[in-house]
Amino acid sequence: MEHFQLDKRFRLLTLTIPIFVELSLRMLMGNIDTMMLSHYSDDSVAAVGVANQLLTVILLVFSLIEMGAAIVVAQYLGAKRSDKAAEAVVVALAVNIVSGLVLSGAVLLFGKQILLLLGLPAELLPYALPFLYLVGGLSVFEAISMTAGAMLRAYGYTRDAMFVTFGMNILNGLGNYLVLFAPWGLPVLGVEGVAMSTVFARLVAMVVLVVILYRRLDCYLPVHILRKFPRSILKNILNIGVPGAGENIMYNASQLVVTAFIATLGTEALTTKIYTQNIMNYSYLLALSVGQATQIQIGHLVGANEKELAYRTCLRSLKIAFISSFVVAGIIALFRTSLMGIFTDNPAIIALGSSLILIQWILEPGRTFNLVVISALRAAGDARFPVYMGILSMWGVSCLLSYLLGIWAGLGLIGIWIAFTLDEWLRGILMLWRWRGRKWQQMYMIEPAVASVKPLQANANAKA
């Protein structure tokens, strides 16, 4: 036990690098859309940005199953239960296909009303609606892709998902070029064309990921278990996925509320927020990658009942992520004016965005605690605590102070960014306190001889 080592596929660097590249490519895909649309019109950028806020919440619903299944699969693999891991893969795919179809229909029926509730100016609806209806109305493609990619990572095949994302970016960028810049006399399709390009790239990625997953599992996907649906496996997934995704949903829901506050400040403020966040997303990308890699590691370690090693693994990952996040955010802050100039030549947007980037340099180290430690807590089965603290801090600090500082006190985006910073640091400190308290070590584990995950507190006397 003392000399336990994970398989080489699950070493931190081996996991982190492909995840980092994949996340960078996914983020780049969104940035390509924004940069290309910025040459089309600033109004289209603001409209698509608000539509993407809603689409992000939809994707988080899919992540409820994806996240829970990835952790359950990792724990089963750590416990040497590959049969149950494969069953969890099938359950996750089936549930997210159904969820994708339902939410795609909901977007088509209620998308316009939701955009108006978010405070999108009526004059921006002609830009936002085509994008929302096409990308959101076919979001089932992304539901399947997300799930298949997460399953591959749980099995340690992080490079597969990375290569597929690379191909998806090429397709998306090429498609955007064709519909926005109209080479060879093609028609300019604007926002609608960008949406079609995004959907096509996601469709291709979905097909390729499912094929790779099928082959990686040696053509063993026990679809027959769906005839008598394995409720116990779904329950195990939901035990982790619901509170785990709940924390993310709380965050994005609070961001939707803050976006509605910003919408009252005008289109220029909305555009500044979108450009600034597109730049600063790269400052926490490495920390996010380390967090996801650590989640996979700890899932396997908890499944193997190596809790002390899991404890040390999280703290080591946190140190690496904290330093990298601070350095990268500092480099971005140094070149902030030039980076804002990539998106716009509006001097007011560049000046305000540059100020926000300086504040974000302070914010990012605090965010690191949440990205790494919350992932570790989820992987260990302690998924509810981050949700409770998220409700307290995201709404009581981020939303409330965003309104008080940004709107009531008249500080605008500067006040809102200060509220974001205080929220990240408060939650981050609370998460570290929870991990160091080691309560998670008594909450959840998989025994190698047991066919399902059992919360220890609720099933201490259950038969093995």
* Three-state SS letters, 451-463: CCCEECCCCCCCC
Q: What is the pLDDT of residue 187?
A: 67
Residue 461 has pLDDT above 60, yes or no: no
Which residues, other chains included, contact 412 with Cβ-Cβ below 8 Å and sequence gap of 6+?
A: 265, 269, 352, 406
- In this prediction, residue 58 carries a pLDDT of 84
| CA atoms of 158 and 160, how far apart (whole Å) | 5
What is d(CA 283, CA 329) in angstroms, rounded to the nearest whole number?
5
Query: Which residues pair with residue 455 across a beta bridge?
Result: 444
Percentage of the chain exceeding pLDDT 70: 90
**What's the angle, vertex CA 20, arms to CA 169 and CA 167, rounded to 5?**
20
pTM score, whole prediction: 0.78
- The three-class DSSP label of residue 218 is coil
Q: Give residue for tokens 């971005």.
A: 332
Q: What is the pLDDT of residues 98-145, one digit of tens each?
A: 999 999 898 888 888 888 887 777 778 887 888 888 888 888 998 999
453 pLDDT above the threshold of 80: no
CA distance 374 to 389: 11
Residue 447: per-residue pLDDT: 45
Q: What is the pLDDT of residue 5?
A: 67
Is pLDDT of 154 > 70?
yes
How far is Cα 311 from Cα 298, in angstroms, rounded to an integer? 8
pLDDT, position 39: 66
* CA diameter of the chain: 72
